[in-house]
Structure 1
Amino acid sequence: MELTKGDELPDITLADQDGAWIKLRDFVGQPVVVFFYPRDNTPVCNIEACEFEAHYSDLKKAGVKVFGVSEDTVSSHKKFATRFHLEYRLLSDVNREAERAFGVGRKLFGLLKDRVTFIFDKQGKLMHTIKSQLNGRRHVDEALSVLNIKTETH
């Protein structure tokens, strides 16, 4: 079941692209954006990742932690992050633990994970969810709007 407004940030620990273990609940106390995307190095995922990177300095300045999550491996994430010069953390959910904890759905007979972004407030409570399978830019634009972040690059 997908998280709904007011739900707590799940207590999940995943490896990032450098192999470091990241416990999401450690970031309660600041806003957190967790975006789930289907796969590294696919057209819409590339756009979404690069859009988050393009606005990462604005998000970081506002104290927001950003995490991208897919079931790709740590090494795949490392190549993806290097290719696009991503500064935020990509988390490897190979066992789909985070996918289940957040209630991220699947399409096409379970083969394609939904593209969904969760925005948590400083208390670790879900304040907004964004869904758009084919519009990666929407996730970033809407996250900036919900977090009331004025951007320098848009």
Structure 2
Amino acid sequence: MSNPIIGKQAPTFSLPNYDGQTYEFKPGNGVPTALFFYPSSGTYGCTKEACAFRDAIAEKGVFKSKVNVVGVSSNPVAKQKEFVEKYNLTYPVLSDAKGEARKAYGTSKGLLGLTDSRTTFIIDSKGIVRDLFDSVINYAGHTKFVEKWLDKLQAEEQTGKPATPLAADAIPNESENGAQSPGVPEARTEEVKEESKAAAAVQA
């Protein structure tokens, strides 16, 4: 997906973290950053995505030692705190109630244009936005996107050759790893329910 900030210095911002403390987002400290925007804390796909990042940090060496993970949604601090504590999330989960960070990163709308998008940005160790992955349905693909980019950035450091953005088909669906595909009825129904709730809220 095209975005004007790709290849540019990542925008910095200050937002409340789930604990109520101000979090200063300033990438480029020598470690890559995975910044993921998601529609709403506690919903089916967002919970799956957030927990996938949590598990990746705990289980995968490339995540644990070579990337900072930061989650952002429009939910208020109290909701973020509840979300973090319920699912034992181990990274900052920020409240972007006014949409300031989303605006800075130029994120799109989600399915049907009724909700915020699910978009993950990979930012290199120098603070340059290298690529993004935008998919509401393929919530499991976001950690895979980051993992592939971490491998690319490591190779870039070793060879000195700049890494290129991932092809659109480079991120597999869950079904390719034997898990439930986001496209099957049960998962898709849950995502559609999220969109329906959003539509009802807009019309109310």
Larger Rg: 2
Q: Alpha-carbon deviation of 1:106? A: 1.4
Matches within 5 A, 1:103-122: 103-107=106-110, 110-122=113-125
Give the match for residue 82 of structure 2: 79
- Aligned partner of 2:44: which letter? P
CA distance in 1, matches of 2:79, 2:24: 20
CA distance in 1, matches of 2:150, 2:111: 32
Structure 2 length-normalised TM? 0.68
RMSD over aligned Cα atoms: 2.0
Share of identical aligned residues, percent?
32
Give the match for residue 99 of structure 1: 102
- Aligned partner of 2:32: which letter? P
Larger helix percent = 2
> What is the number of residues matched between the two proteins?
149
Q: Alpha-carbon deviation of 1:127? A: 1.1
Q: Alpha-carbon deviation of 1:53? A: 0.5
- Aligned partner of 1:60: which letter? K
Q: Partner of 2:133: helix, strand, or coil?
A: strand
Do 2:110 and 2:136's aligned partners in 1 also have CA atoms closer than 8 Å? no
Matched, 1:61 2:65: yes
* Structure ranking higher on relative contact order (CA contacts 8 Å, 6+ apart): 1
Q: Alpha-carbon deviation of 1:109? A: 6.8
Give the match for residue 33 of structure 1: 34
Do 2:6 and 2:131's aligned partners in 1 also have CA atoms closer than 8 Å? yes
Give the match for residue 134 of structure 1: 137
Larger strand percent = 1
Structure 1 length-normalised TM? 0.89
